Amino acid sequence: MKKFQFSLEKVLEIKEIEEKTIQKDLYLIQKEISETENRITNVKEKISYERKNVATLSKNLSTTIDIMIHYKYIDGLTVELQTLASNLLSLKEKEKVVKKKLIDKSKEKKALEKLKEIKYEEFKKEYNKAQQISTDEVSIQNHRLKTGEV
């Protein structure tokens, strides 16, 4: 039996490589999203902690300079929080784009795999047909030999 060869095998391999590359990109973006979300949580906790500190300092009648320093720090954390939130939105948009690319590549790959299956089934049918013809010819010759019709 001759070996089945799919004419678009190299294209299929390239699609698989592209799909894996996009999956890796998606993983990295999702990891970065997770890290950014963790940083946002940490900054929110710091802001909350510093607000409590300011309240405590106010009760203890600390100097205005100490309180101002804490407010400036809270302002800095708020700016950092806004920057992180903006980055998070950007990353989520990037994630959507990469997910769409991944879906498209997966569809392309699946279409090629389906075509390969169809071609393989056609190959098997042709092979079986050729085998049947060969078997029929041998049977006819055997029958002729037995009956003496040669």
Query: How many domains does the chain divide into?
Result: 1
Is residue 132 included in any domain, yes or no?
no
Q: Are 102 and 19 in contact (CB under 8 A)?
A: yes
Q: What is the pLDDT along the chain (150 residues), one digit of tens a residue?
A: 678 888 888 999 999 999 999 999 999 999 999 999 999 999 999 999 998 888 887 777 667 888 888 889 999 999 999 999 999 999 999 999 999 999 999 999 999 999 999 999 999 999 999 899 989 888 888 888 887 765
Give the per-residue pLDDT at 144. Answer: 81
pLDDT for position 6: 85
User: What does the block give as tokens for 55?
Assistant: 């309240």
Tell me which residue range forms the domain holding 42. Answer: 9-107
Q: For residue 96, what are the CA distances in angstroms to 31, 100, 102, 103?
A: 14, 6, 10, 11
Q: Cα dihedral sign for 13, 19, 20, 22?
A: positive
Q: What is the pLDDT of residue 150?
A: 54
